[in-house]
Amino acid sequence: METLAVSASWQMWASLVIVAVTVYLYFREQFSIEAISIGVIVVLLVFFNLFPLKSDLALDSSALLSGFAAPALIAIMALLVVGQGMFHTGALEGPIVRINNALDKQPRRTLAGVFAIAFGVSMFMNNTPVVVMFIPVISAMASRIRTSASKYMMPLSFLCILAGMTTLIGSSTNLLVNDVLVRQTGEALGFFSQTNLGLILAFAGAIYIVFAAPILLPDRESLESEFSDAGRQYIAQIRVTEKHPLNTVKPVAGLFTALKDVTVRMVQRGEQSFLPPFEDTLMAGDVLVVAATRKSLSTLLSTDPQYLEGMLNIGGFGNEGRTHDANDSIVTTEAVIAPGSRMIGRTIEQVGFRRQTGCLVLGVQRRARMIRKRMLEIRLEAGDILLLFGYEAEIRDLRTNKDLLVLDWSTKELPDIRKSILARLIFLLTIGLAATGILPIEIAALTGALAMIATGCLNIRQAVRALDMKIFLLIGAAFAMGLALERTGAASQIGILVVNTIAPFGNHILIAAIFLLVAILTNIISNSATALLFTPIALSIAEQTGLDPILMVLTVIFAANCCFATPIAYQTNL
């Protein structure tokens, strides 16, 4: 079929209609973001194949799909993998736990310190995994100082967004805008080009949050407190080893204060048993019988490798003869002893649970009565809930075990903190290479992502899971729409209209109008899409008025990052 050619003016208006309809569909949320993004890409491909531009700036398939190979998008995806490596290894949990220990003495200062850490990390890392890591920390801190967590969740999201304005890699929006700037002008933003202005904006935003949040945010009870079984107590045991953090610990007022969220019910030393209140110092070889929630036990396992070794009394775990990839995920889950199970009336040792399944029992929970025995001496009953620990593949195998009912919904991965130091080093090296200019950001990010996988901080499956397809398709579609506006002359026409209307009032009013327009739209559709659509327009305005293009680009960056007004404006709000 012979292709048709029409005037650029007609194509320009058609491009504007396509973009406007797409923005409307994003706003309505009637269809998924992925479906809308693929749809607009297909429409643009078909349209410009049937009606090609009569100019040197052709919009063929290679150009329209170039966004998927853009260095900025590659850098964003790679940084998501690096962030996932930090999350999976619990690289931030150790420092946070140490700060959290000071909460009882100086609660407000400690809380401010945690927010400061979240802000600092978000300057150099995609803020979504940062918020995910800090939500349980802030929630736990709010619980300990007896305030509602709802007072701190929105400020957490907002502070991380504000931090993202301050460096080139703080937000995906910054990288995308820089990519358009390089393509159109050949200039590029430096790693810290926006830091001075960004810090001023962040400081103003932080001051507002500090004073307005206590007044405007209501106290809400969490759904977890109403519906979850997070408070169920398990009987577990911890063996004190030579290098264990509890070795030589002395009780204070009959209690072991080092175990804040765990109740010690008995200490077994050889054939002797000690009940509370405790008087003797703990020694290597002691076994502590404790009552704790699943969350408390998981936190212990995530704070120090010696807790893992002491709780399991081995260096590794699993059946003899079974081999595991070093990158296999370690998970915890819950399983109920089924009626008629062969385990009923027998202890965990008699069942040979670890030998048969490769999984370890961390704790036993029984609703009927309090148990004051060593976990391995408890005779199991129908309805007992076992807290299990093992490799993901072995937990999956338990689904076919007729003696147990595995609660799949309760399965959660544990951070492999043995790799936390390595993950921190890789993260710092990635940031250092990008900040100093030794490597371009996309190469430094790819190197960091590969290092996370190669060193076992992440496996391939976890790395792929970190690649958000919604972000990938949205950015690819926004690149295509921005390119269509740019090459059909639509961006220039919009720029001329804006300049003719507002420029007579002065450059400050012009910049303020652009900022306000972008800031409003970023709360209706994605901040990335808004930035990619308005950057060509801003550069066109700079060309027509003689303003510095860097100034206009920074205006778009700061405005697009003002995604505070709606839950859908940015993923950390959700």
Question: How much is the pLDDT for 93?
Answer: 67
Three-point CA angle 565, 569, 570, nearest 5°:
120
**The pLDDT of residue 226 is above 80:** no
Contact 308, 274 (CB under 8 A): no
Report the alpha-carbon distance of residue 27 to residue 441 in Å, rounded: 32
| Confidence label for 559 from pLDDT (cuts 50, 70 and 90) | very high
Going by CATH, does the domain composed of 330-414 fall within 3.30.70.1450?
A: yes
CATH number of 234-312: 3.30.70.1450
Which tops the pLDDT comparison, 457 or 54? 457
Using CB atoms within 10 Å of the CB of residue 392, give its burial: 0 to 12 exposed, 13 to 18 middle, 19+ buried: middle
527-563 burial, b at 16+ Cβ within 10 Å, e below that, comes to bbbbbbbbbbbbbbbbbebebebbebbbbbbbbbbbb
| Confidence label for 248 from pLDDT (cuts 50, 70 and 90) | confident
**The pLDDT of residue 557 is above 90:** yes
Question: How much is the pLDDT for 551?
Answer: 92
List, for residues 25-41, the tens digit of each pLDDT value.
Answer: 887 778 888 899 899 99
The half-sphere exposure of 123 on its side-chain side, counting CA atoms within 13 A, is 17
| Confidence label for 302 from pLDDT (cuts 50, 70 and 90) | low
Question: How much is the pLDDT for 49?
Answer: 87
Q: What is the average per-residue pLDDT within 539-556?
A: 90
**The pLDDT of residue 310 is above 60:** no
* Range with lowest mean pLDDT among 127-141, 187-201, 258-272, 342-356: 127-141
How far does CA 195 lie from the centroid of its chain? 23
Tokens found for residue 338? 């089924």
Question: How much is the pLDDT for 316?
Answer: 43
List, for residues 38-69, the tens digit of each pLDDT value.
Answer: 999 999 999 988 888 776 667 888 888 888 88
List, for residues 77-94, the tens digit of each pLDDT value.
Answer: 888 888 888 877 777 766
Report the alpha-carbon distance of residue 520 to residue 474 in Å, rounded: 19
> Mean pLDDT of all residues in the chain?
80
Question: DSSP state, 379?
Answer: P
Percent of the chain scoring above 90 in pLDDT:
10
In the chain, domain spans: 8-64+470-569, 73-222+419-469, 234-312, 330-414
For residue 54, report the phi and psi dihedrals to the nearest 5 degrees.
Answer: -95, 65
Tokens found for residue 206? 């932080």
Question: How much is the pLDDT for 429?
Answer: 92
What single-letter amino acid sits at 318? G
Question: How much is the pLDDT for 425?
Answer: 92
| Confidence label for 221 from pLDDT (cuts 50, 70 and 90) | low
The 3-state secondary structure of 487-505, one letter per residue = HCCHHHHHHHHHHHHHHHH
Q: What is the average per-residue pLDDT within 405-416?
A: 74
Using CB atoms within 10 Å of the CB of residue 444, give its burial: 0 to 12 exposed, 13 to 18 middle, 19+ buried: buried
Question: How much is the pLDDT for 451?
Answer: 93
**The pLDDT of residue 315 is above 50:** no
Report the alpha-carbon distance of residue 140 to residue 143 in Å, rounded: 5
Question: How much is the pLDDT for 75?
Answer: 85
Q: Which of 146-155, 235-244, 272-281, 509-518 has the highest mean pLDDT?
A: 509-518
Contact 490, 496 (CB under 8 A): no
CA dist 374 → 351, 385, 462 (Å): 16, 16, 36
Contacts of 129 (CB under 8 A, 6+ apart): 80, 83, 84, 86, 87
Report the alpha-carbon distance of residue 568 to residue 566 in Å, rounded: 5
Could you tell me if residue 308 is left (phi over 0), alpha (psi between -120 and 50 degrees) or otherwise beta? Answer: alpha
Tokens found for residue 165? 């304005």
Question: How much is the pLDDT for 222?
Answer: 53
Which tops the pLDDT comparison, 514 or 293? 514
* Range with lowest mean pLDDT among 36-40, 363-367, 520-524: 363-367
Whole-model pTM: value is: 0.70
Question: How much is the pLDDT for 441?
Answer: 84
Tokens found for residue 266? 């008995």
| Confidence label for 223 from pLDDT (cuts 50, 70 and 90) | very low
Contact 157, 561 (CB under 8 A): no
| Confidence label for 381 from pLDDT (cuts 50, 70 and 90) | confident
For residue 261, report the phi and psi dihedrals to the nearest 5 degrees.
Answer: -105, 20
* Range with lowest mean pLDDT among 101-105, 137-141, 533-537: 101-105
Domains 234-312 and 330-414 are alike in CATH topology: yes
Percent of the chain scoring above 70 in pLDDT:
84
**The pLDDT of residue 124 is above 70:** yes
Question: How much is the pLDDT for 527?
Answer: 81
List, for residues 366-375, the tens digit of each pLDDT value.
Answer: 765 555 566 7
For residue 467, report the phi and psi dihedrals to the nearest 5 degrees.
Answer: -80, 105
